[in-house]
Amino acid sequence: MTLGGDHAGRLGVCAAPRCDRVYVDTSRNAGRQFCSTACQNRVKAATFRARQASDEP
């Protein structure tokens, strides 16, 4: 069995903290990092908050 074929998609593990779900990345540019938009939004919000906090003196 070969992974990475044109129509196989790519397997990845969610990049969100405390989430280790595996997803199949079917996006064309393989830019997906999260199992769901819920995780994506959670990490995005956390990153935004962290950046703001570090920017403040």
19 binds Zn ion (CB under 5 A): yes
Contacts with 23 (C-beta within 8 Å, 6 or more apart), sequence order: 11, 12, 13, 14, 32, 34, 35, 36
Q: Using the minimum distance from each CB to Zn ion, give the nearer residue, 21 or 49.
A: 21
Member of 3, 11, 14, 30 binding Zn ion (CB under 5 A): 14
C-alpha 29/C-alpha 49 separation (Å) is: 27
Minimum distance, C-beta of residue 28 to Zn ion, in the bound complex (Å):
21
Instruction: By CB under 5 A, name the binding residues for Zn ion.
Output: 14, 16, 19, 21, 35, 39
